[in-house]
Chains A and B, each alone.
Chain A
Amino acid sequence: MSDISIVEILKNLWSGSGFSLGEPLQIVMIVIACGLLFLGIAKKFEPLLLVGIAFGMLLTNLPGLNTEANALFHSAWWTGEEAVANGVDYLNILQHGGLLDVLYIGVKTGLYPCLIFIGVGAMTDFGPMLANPKSLILGAAAQLGIYMALILAITFGFTGEIAASVAIIGGADGPTAIFVTKTLAPEKLGAIAIAAYSYMALIPLIQPPIMRALTTKKERMIKMEQLRTVSKAEKIIFPIAVTIITAILLPSVAPLLGCLMFGNLLKECGVTERLSDTAQNALMNIVTLFLGISVGATAIYSNFLTPDTSKIVGLGLLAFCFSTAGGVLMGKFMCWITKGKVNPLIGAAGVSAVPMAARVAHNEGKKWNPDNYLLMHAMGPNVAGVIGSAVAAGFLLAIFAH
């Protein structure tokens, strides 16, 4: 019988623990993850996703959980040279992968963003947009930030694929940003998802100064006419027709818009209440849970703590600002064309972030005219923005996806 030394046991425990395997940059990532958890929990910044993303980030950066045997997520299996050259080995991942590897399959295949879009569609009322179809133009104009960010990202020297992924942050639509990035620049997924969701949470701080800078007091006080009632037939035909029209015009947009419209059809057709309820609640919650934690897992210190991340964060903010400005300026143009019947503030709601952007436009209008009730008017551009950002994503995928 060999002697067992207490010192040897402790030495072995120490050498196998995260304390001896850790690297200083992992500590930085843990601090960042805890900071994001604070923002999500204490400040309620998009908590449903940010808490999951931050916790995924925490799990994947813990010292001791980054060895081949213990890892919950193997970054190299997804974005390493072999994976890029020969494609992802899903069989190996299912046989030997960690928990987060298995969950990440839903991101990589585009499953989660599409399922989330079914839920979003089931929760969205396109009525205000159908009642005022001109709001689609506001939704289109508010995609300006995507293209301004694309130009800036190219100027900063990013490749086309990364520039497109950074640019889509300007669409203010998390699932769309994830869908584009997982295809074009999966190594940047963590940074882009965090930037997109953080800025969406900061919309009430980012948008109002831009809205005020670009409009006059008189314009902000404009009261808009009541919207017409939209018939049930219109609400049922719309999602079917949009799917046909957009998928024929731009096939790459079909997964996202198809799912959005399918979810909406479940809500509007009136014969699938149970499915609509599941899409809005159970399905949405489960997918949000998986999506958050697996996206956060991609933010590993070696690919997150780079100068590119700070550029992405900066460009994302600019993209949001340009998108807001694009919507407001188009709102001003429509105000001028209609001789003061459109309040330009509703243009800012053209960035997708539903319904927060519409609420910001409403609150801003109310500040200047307490009798003003812009919420329903702003919901039109808001839901149009979801379609607009999906179309923009389809365009970028059509150009850059190989």
Chain B
Amino acid sequence: MLFLLGEGTKFTVPQGLLLALVGFVLVLVVLAVLMGFIYLLSYVVRLFEKKGKGEETAAPASAEPALAPGSSGDIKLYNVDDRTAAMVMAIIADELQTPLNELRFISIKEVTEEGK
């Protein structure tokens, strides 16, 4: 019935409550649909990535840790990807209030539950 009301209409409180309820549920539903879609998307993408990796020949595992370009020299990364390493360095620089190029990182290692 709300849709039939004209411009400048004043609503009653029960009408307002109904409108608010419908609106809030709609936002929840739309975002829940998007959530479901993201789960589906990540599942499909990971499936394709696994398939792609399976077709590639496995590269020999290197005993040496990966090297990432650092702001001052190279950093040894143990089980840490470049993105995470960059984030860690940025956080430390921010916490110390020191420019990143004045800090020297030797290595970054992921501490696992087993490693404790």
Contacts and interface: CB of A to CB of B under 8 A. Distances in A.
Interface of A: 129-130, 133-134, 136-137, 139-141, 143-144, 146-148, 150-151, 154-155, 157-161, 163, 229-231, 233-234, 237-238, 241-242, 245-246, 249-250, 373, 376, 384, 387-388, 391-392, 395-396, 399, 402
B95 to A, nearest CB: 10
Q: Is the interface of A mostly helix, strand, loop or mixed?
A: helix
Given A151-B20, A388-B27, A237 B41 contact: yes
B38 A238 contact: yes
B5 A160 contact: yes
B10 to A, nearest CB: 6
Interface stretch (B28-36, B61-69, B70-78, B97-105): B28-36
Interface in B16-60: 16-17, 19-21, 23-24, 26-28, 30-35, 37-39, 41-42, 45-46, 48-49
A163 B12 CA distance: 12
A391 B31 contact: yes
Interface residues of B, number: 41
A391 to B, nearest CB: 5
Contacts of A238: 38, 41
A143 B41 contact: no
B2 interface: yes
A180 B9 CA distance: 17
A141 B29 CA distance: 11
B115 interface: no
A388 B31 contact: yes
Interface of B: 2-3, 5-13, 15-17, 19-21, 23-24, 26-28, 30-35, 37-39, 41-42, 45-46, 48-49, 81, 83, 87, 91
Nearest to B8: A159
Pairs A-B, 6 closest by C-beta atoms: A154-B16, A147-B20, A133-B38, A140-B31, A136-B31, A133-B35
Contacts of B30: 140, 246, 249-250, 391
A65 to B, nearest CB: 31
A155 B8 CA distance: 15
B5 A154 contact: no
A395 B23 CA distance: 6
Contact of B24 (A143, A163, A231): A143
B35 to A, nearest CB: 4
Contacts of B35: 133-134, 136-137
19 contacts: A133-B39, A137-B32, A140-B32, A141-B28, A147-B23, A160-B8, A161-B7, A229-B81, A234-B38, A234-B42, A241-B37, A249-B30, A249-B33, A373-B91, A384-B31, A391-B31, A395-B26, A396-B23, A399-B3
Given A140-B27, A399-B23, 17 more contacts: A130-B38, A136-B31, A136-B32, A144-B24, A147-B20, A147-B23, A154-B12, A158-B10, A229-B83, A233-B48, A234-B38, A241-B37, A245-B34, A373-B91, A392-B23, A399-B2, A402-B6
A399 B27 contact: no
Given A154-B11, A234-B45, A373-B91, A391 B37 contact: no
B20 A136 contact: no
A399 B19 contact: yes
Nearest to B91: A373
A182 to B, nearest CB: 16
Contacts of A163: 11, 16
A129 B32 CA distance: 13
A352 B49 CA distance: 33
Contacts of B39: 133
A151 B19 CA distance: 8
Contact of B42 (A130, A144, A159): A130
A143 B27 contact: yes
Nearest to B16: A154
A241 B41 CA distance: 10
B28 A140 contact: yes
A133 B87 CA distance: 21
Contacts of A129: 38
